[in-house]
Amino acid sequence: MDYETLSNCFLGVFQHYKTDEEHVFTIGLLRNDLTKLLEFLKKNQDNDEWHISFNGLSFDSQITEYIIRNQKELLNLSGEQVARKIYAQAQRTIERSSTKGVFSEWSEKKLSIKQIDIFKLNHWDNAAKRSSLKWIQCSMDWYNVQDMPIPHTAEITTVEQLKEIASYCRNDVASTKHIMNLSSKQIEVRGKLTAQYGINLYSASEPKISKELFLHFLEKKLDIPKYQLKGLRTKRTQIVVKDLILDYVKFTTPEFNKLLDTFKTLVLDPQSLKGVFKANVNYRGVSTDFGVGGVHGAKKGIYIPDDHMMIMSSDVTSFYPNLAIRNKWSPEHLPKQAFCEQYEWFFDERKLIPKSNIINYVYKIILNSTYGLSNDETSFLYDPEFTMRITINGQLSLMMLYEMLAERIPGSIPIMQNTDGIEMMIPKKYKEEYLAICKEWEDLTMLQLEHDTYQKMIVPDVNNYIAVYNYKEVEKEKFLKLMSEHPENLFKKENGKYYYAYTKTKGRFEFKDLALHKNKSFLVVRKALYYFFVHGIDPKEYLKTNNNILDYCGQVKSKGVWQFQKTYVEMGDVVTESLQKTLRYYVSNKGDSLVKYNTEDKRVISVNAKFLQTIFNQHEEKDWSEYNINKRFYIERINSEIKSMQPDLFINQMNLFN
């Protein structure tokens, strides 16, 4: 469902989540469906029917509740008067939701009709993932990416305007329904959790699930009422880092000893931790960055081991949760033993439960989210010193492993270190020594490592890479199944046996199962790079095989005082036209010049300068040649990435040791 609230017009569209049943209600100057809307909402209540929305908990549900609670007054007014009342309520609701620390007028518990909010469920209200419905429409290749065609301040006086608003609202509802279907497994999990624990988690993000269930278990374990636990926090004025560093953290090289000494001088302000500390260590040719949040380092290159070398990948199992569990850390305001026992119980129980079981997924959420919630002032787990214990000791402990391996494995080539793991090329003859050093580190830290091997890594930087695992033998049936489901990966048959190699992509190489909040612009470039680096296919040849117009599309959005404009020539004159806030487009041989225009200071920023674009907000099927794609733009982008990985960066036996 979705509402449109304009100054003198209200419109609501409802579509059944399984069928084509639809209800459209209009209230305003031309029509007054208030009585029909109230009858429909009463039926929803009587039949225990739910409303499914995009950001409905903060907006649509609040309008519904206002209409239900004020129906006696509203029924005595004209349609236009009702619409203006609803509009005023809508503006108050928007103001409340945009004001920090101010909650909705009616909490979820007080709503007359139950809600599933797929915006909150997917955590798109989080700063790092914040996404509008239009942005998600782009990301999921929706056929019509459309902004509201009429300003909400406009006076609606014609049937044509109503039809235009209804068409727009239908599109939003249909796309919301599609996102609901894409989120069906997440909704199913939340439904089962709600039934099992008696806590409404239908619209809960993963961090909220973690917070609510940890609270549920602690309430029982500590015999402290939930409302009291919810009010607990540990607020600090400073964090002295030297008091947090574990006794076993020691280094042998000057580079890392200097880093350790720097950490020991830090006194942090808990209210401003982001970006407060930065350090860099260049060790064995790898530049590694440190902060209070984690470690990131990589040496640019294409790594292909010869017959005498191998690439080892070692990740710490549930690194951050296990650091807290093994060292008996807890937020200071919670009883240490009870917290640690409960945290460890989640970890141990998860190992006993198959990954196919939703409880395994739930315990994973709890384990991973708890650390983040300890730095969230709205969480009962809040204690920023607990957060810093984990992140600072985590990166220093990982660097100990990195140093131990690099110093003690002859001919080792460090490749990458990132938060909870390392990649390193070593001579095959030292594999057992490598594993023995890892075991020594595990015994010292009480943590566990998981190992794998790669046959190739393409690493521009730590946040963007392709890793190709070594081949593993599989049964024929599984081989055929994998080939059908994941044709982009590697397959081979030798001597009647079947082998499969999985690939991992990160950053600008990702194209499989991209999270919907991420920018998927020009997916064809990512795919071409993948097939070049993994399968050796020439990009120009790959482009000949990809005739999916949406893979060639980019997506952009403007905010605040910025707006998109296009310029084109008409009858010899240059025409400028303002556009909507979210655009999907592709680069074409003929088209328009898209720019981002600042309405205050008049700055202009080109969208893909020197090229023309065709706006593709509404999908249109054509013969491939009619799209008139400018392949030069895409080839230039692909070649730029390939060129950055110069031939002298290929790592092999010859240039390593000659």
Nearest CA to 230 out of 441, 438, 444, 377 is that of 377
Q: What is the per-residue pLDDT for 622?
A: 95
Sheet holding 593-598, edge to edge: 573-578, 562-570, 593-598, 604-606
End-to-end CA distance of the chain: 67
φ/ψ of residue 484, rounded to 5: -75, -40
Angstrom distance (rounded) from CA 362 to CA 189: 8
Q: What is the per-residue pLDDT for 185?
A: 92
Tokens of 68: 């239900």
pLDDT digits (tens, 9 = 90+) for 146-169: 999 999 999 999 999 999 999 999
Instruction: Give the Cβ contact number of residue 110 at 10 Å.
Output: 10
Angstrom distance (rounded) from CA 312 to CA 428: 10
Give every CB contact of residue 634 below 8 A, 6+ residues apart in sequence.
522, 524, 525, 528, 543, 552, 587
In three-state form (DSSP H/G/I as H, E/B as E, the rest C), the secondary structure along 590-631 is CCEEEEEEECCCCCEEECCCCCEEEECCECCCCCHHHHCECH
Identity of residue 590? K
Identify whether the C-beta of residue 243 lies closer than 8 Å to the C-beta of residue 392.
no
Token pair 């001579």 is found at 427
Q: What is the per-residue pLDDT for 647?
A: 55
pLDDT digits (tens, 9 = 90+) for 80-119: 999 999 999 999 999 998 887 788 999 999 999 999 999 9
Strand partners, 498: 474, 493
Identity of residue 409? I
Q: Which own/partner pairs from 190-193 qualify as long-range (CB within 8 Å, at least 24 positions apart)?
A: 190/121, 192/358, 193/358, 193/362
Angstrom distance (rounded) from CA 575 to CA 411: 64
Identity of residue 491? F
Tokens of 606: 């080109």
Centroid of chain to Cα 97: 22
Q: What is the per-residue pLDDT for 100?
A: 79
Angstrom distance (rounded) from CA 50 to CA 48: 7
SS3 of residue 45 by DSSP = helix
Token pair 């001919």 is found at 411
Extended strands (E) in 31-154: 51-53, 115-117
For the chain, which domains are there?
2-197 (3.30.420), 239-332+383-469 (3.90.1600.10), 519-658 (no CATH)
How deeply is 437 buried, as exposed, middle or buried, from its count of CB atoms within 10 A (0-12, 13-18, 19+)?
middle
Strand partners, 614: 586
Give every CB contact of residue 583 below 8 A, 6+ residues apart in sequence.
145, 555, 556, 557, 564, 594, 615, 617
Angstrom distance (rounded) from CA 7 to CA 253: 69
Angstrom distance (rounded) from CA 49 to CA 36: 17
Strand partners, 312: 424, 453
SS3 of residue 415 by DSSP = strand
Tokens of 576: 């400028």
Angstrom distance (rounded) from CA 367 to CA 393: 18
Q: What is the per-residue pLDDT for 265?
A: 95
Give pLDDT < 70 ranges for the chain.
646-658
Averaged pLDDT score across all residues of the chain: 94
Give every CB contact of residue 421 below 8 A, 6+ residues apart in sequence.
313, 314, 315, 316, 398
Angstrom distance (rounded) from CA 530 to CA 533: 5
Identity of residue 267? V
Dihedral of CA 218/222/225/230: which sign?
negative
